[in-house]
Structure 1
């Protein structure tokens, strides 16, 4: 086997270095998604229609151009971590969220046809922190 330097290889072939990213935790993936949305808080995003009424198979492939999921998919880091497309089902799998959590972020019934990215970011963050009022209520009822 002949050893060559990177410069020598580039004269005879197109060499692309691939960056390797450490595996992100669920929390890190969700935080990155929120941060991406917060980078342009006024950005107008499209909502998905009636996700709670779709059959599971249709819900899995549902997508909307310019949705909060699209913002995540536009990020090369999240794609390198394994985000395959900007469908509802892929976002549910990749971010490890429930249907109701994802519905809360992307469905039109909360905001109409469009939403600002900062609103979506707050909803994304809520999947990490949970609803504080409900947490307080559960704790109060437990005593």
Structure 2
């Protein structure tokens, strides 16, 4: 077998690079939730007091048998780009905010262990935020802002 550089190989063969399908944020979160729901009673370890760590420490945080371990054990999520079961990689891959990760994975919010089913519900909430609640909040906020103006004009 002869070694040839990729660009030179194009001259002698029809080379196509297959595009890897990329999951959307929602699809990634839904898959993670589905994996957790396969054994909803399974006890998983939380991450210890995320809020007390520096930013550099937070990205390196991991715990064996955590919800992040469940995600990283899945070959589809790994193939799609989940680099490890460390908090920083999970935040980047699942596009979570620090607050999302804290509420979902921290020991101060969940105790030192939590059921996979409970975590799955939290992950599904991240995947499918209740837009009706957000809309209602905007309506209430708008009413508070508009009411003084209306009182001024129609007082």
SS in structure 2 of the partner of residue 65 of structure 1: coil
Q: Note the aligned Cα RMSD (angstroms).
A: 2.0
Offset, 1:142: 2.9
The normalised TM-score by structure 1 is 0.80
User: Match for residue 49 of structure 1?
Assistant: 48
How far, CA to CA, are the matches of 1:139 and 1:36 in structure 2? 37
The normalised TM-score by structure 2 is 0.74
Structure 1 runs of 4+ off > 6 angstroms? none
Q: Identify unmatched segments of 5+ residues in structure 1.
A: 2-19
Computing the radius of gyration from Cα coordinates, the structure with the larger value is 2
How far, CA to CA, are the matches of 2:88 and 2:33 in structure 1? 18
User: Match for residue 122 of structure 2?
Assistant: 123
Count how many residue pairs are aligned between Structure 1 and Structure 2.
126
User: Match for residue 137 of structure 1?
Assistant: 137
Any idea what the Cα deviations from partners look like across 1:41-74, whole Å, max 9, x if unmatched? 0010000011112100000000001110100000
SS in structure 1 of the partner of residue 85 of structure 2: coil
Q: Is residue 82–residue 93 contact of structure 2 (8 Å, CA) maintained in 1?
A: yes
